[in-house]
Structure 1
Amino acid sequence: MKLEDYELIIHLSTIGTVRGTAKHLYVSQPAITQRLRYIESYFHHPLFVRTSKKLLLTPIGEQIVEHAQEVIEKETELQTLLQSYGDQISGTLSIGASSIVSQQFLPSLLETYTSLYPDVKIDLVTGLSEDLRNPNQNFHVRLIRGEAMKDGENIHLLSDPLYLYDTKPFASGKERPLIAFKSDSTFHNLVDEWFLSHPSFKPIKSIQVDQIETCKQFMKKGLGMAVLPKSVVSEELHQYPHLPLTLDNEPLSRETWLCFQKNVRNLPQVDRFIQLVQNSNFT
């Protein structure tokens, strides 16, 4: 059994379908199916029951998934120990970063970091914060929005105030579409809570877009109002009507966190990145 086989077992059990796992790993479905057959023949037992909707773990499959998680954890501990030897800053730095952090803050951080430590290989995944929280994603560090991780170390980086923007002045009873960008549930819950407590601003419909930049451009063309964090607006603060979102006289904001497991600081390349982030200005 290869380490990749144990990782595949965990992905299949977490995602629940061959198709979804193949998409996540950027390989073909037949390749996943063929590898799963080999794994099940290796253990002489089926790991999953195939249904029309998803894969269900067998009792033996549950035990093997637990074993796979232990194998990967031990391998990570060994790699951490081996890479901690020596004075040269090298190795791999694995980062999971939310889309907004990747757009607004990460480029300058990585520019500085790679100039200081050119021998370090950067392994970067960007996306929604709720996807990056998946414990099966073996990131050294996570730069996420919303709530902090429930385990490990969390360093608060930024409180990002939310504003309601439009091209027209705000007025009570105003009926306008709401342009919403793809984000995690904690952000949408904040927005929904604000609109529930301010019924005079209730949108007449919702326009869904994929990226926050698309949302901003739609708003600037007068297609509707949009809730945007302060970090993604600059000249818009002076060019368009905007309203700070508050609940119970407290500003609504999106928190930004640096999250990691304490032992990863034993890796010099990870510790130097954490130090750089802590010394950077996120305001």
Structure 2
Amino acid sequence: MKIEDYELLLKLNEVGTIRGTAKTILISQPAVTQRLKYIEDYFGEEIFIRTPKRLIPTPSGEIILNYAKKIIDVEKSLFNHLAMNQDEIQGTLSIACSSLISQRFLPVILGEYTEKFPKVTIDLVTGISEDIRRDHKNYHVCIIRGEKLKETKCIHLFADPLYIFDTEPFPNDRVKERPLISFNSDDSMHELVDQWLYHHQDHIKPLKMLTVDQIETCKQFMKQGIGMAVLPKSVSGSMMDEYPHLPLEVNGVPVTRDTWICFQEVARRLPQVDKFIDIMLAKTFLT
């Protein structure tokens, strides 16, 4: 058994399908099926039950999956320990990052980082902040939006002001009634918008709520005149000059989304982690 075999088992369990796993790790579906059969033959046990919707671990499979996670954790720990004793920075850097930050800022940051430290392996997971909070102990560094992450060292990166955009003007003399488009985000984002709407119900009244999967889809729907959209300044760009908009404020205070970089203090003893945090803290995110 190779370490890649254990990684494949965990990925199959995470994704839930052979087809989805093959797409994620960029190899053919038959190759994944063949490798899984080899692993099951090796252990002499069926690891997953195949159902129409997803793979379900068998009782023996759950034991093997737990063992696989321990094997991978031990190997990562070994390489990180070795990296601490090397003059040249290497090892693995595991990052969990908010989808918005990973799309808007992280490519440039990781480009700079990998150019300086080409021997470091990047292990990146992106998603909404709520999911990252739940699994934060699995990563060296978490970059999240909203509230700070408890039980970690959190450093504030920037406050992202929110604006409401539309293709139609925001009148002062009557209530604006339009559909409101939102994108998949964590509850804290929706709570900020709901609170602002409550304080401005005499001026803005959403006729209905449309929810889409990603922020880019939300922007495009708004641009097509389907409805209003609340968007952070970090992804608004030229829209500020092209479309009617209002800043979200409550009692004269701007409504913002805070972005944090969070980590365990001990993680900074790893040179590859320490250097990444330094680059993040030196970055100017909003101008």
1:129 and 2:133 matched: no
Q: Percent identity of the aligned residues?
A: 48
- What's the TM-score once normalised by structure 1's chain length? 0.78
Instruction: Report how far residue 195 of structure 1 moved.
Output: 4.4
Which residues of structure 2 form unaligned runs of 5+? none
Instruction: Report how far residue 106 of structure 1 moved.
Output: 3.4
1:242 and 2:241 matched: no
Aligned residues: 281
Instruction: Report how far residue 17 of structure 1 moved.
Output: 2.4
Instruction: Report how far residue 190 of structure 1 moved.
Output: 4.2
Alignment of 1:1-283 (within 5 A): 1-91=1-91, 93-106=93-106, 109-110=109-110, 113=113, 117-121=116-120, 123=122, 125=124, 127-130=126-129, 135=135, 139-149=139-149, 152-166=152-166, 167-170=168-171, 173-184=175-186, 186-188=188-190, 190-192=192-194, 194-195=196-197, 201-206=204-209, 212-213=215-216, 215-216=218-219, 219=222, 222-233=225-236, 240-246=244-250, 252-283=255-286
Alpha-carbon displacement from aligned partner over 1:144-179 (angstroms, at most 9, x marks no partner): 323545565433323323222234114554221223
Separation (CA, whole Å) in 1 of partners of 2:13 and 2:53? 13
Runs of 4+ in 1 over 6 A off after TM superposition: none
Separation (CA, whole Å) in 2 of partners of 1:145 and 1:182? 13
Query: Contact 2:79–2:91 (CA<8 Å) still a contact in 1?
Result: no
Deviates more, 1:1-10 or 1:95-104: 95-104
Separation (CA, whole Å) in 2 of partners of 1:263 and 1:203? 47
Residue identity matched to 1:87: D
Query: Contact 2:165–2:222 (CA<8 Å) still a contact in 1?
Result: yes
Distance 1:78 1:250, change over 3 A: same
Separation (CA, whole Å) in 1 of partners of 2:198 and 2:29? 44
Alpha-carbon displacement from aligned partner over 1:158-212 (angstroms, at most 9, x marks no partner): 3323222234114554221223344445434543565467656342345556653
Separation (CA, whole Å) in 1 of partners of 2:111 and 2:17? 38
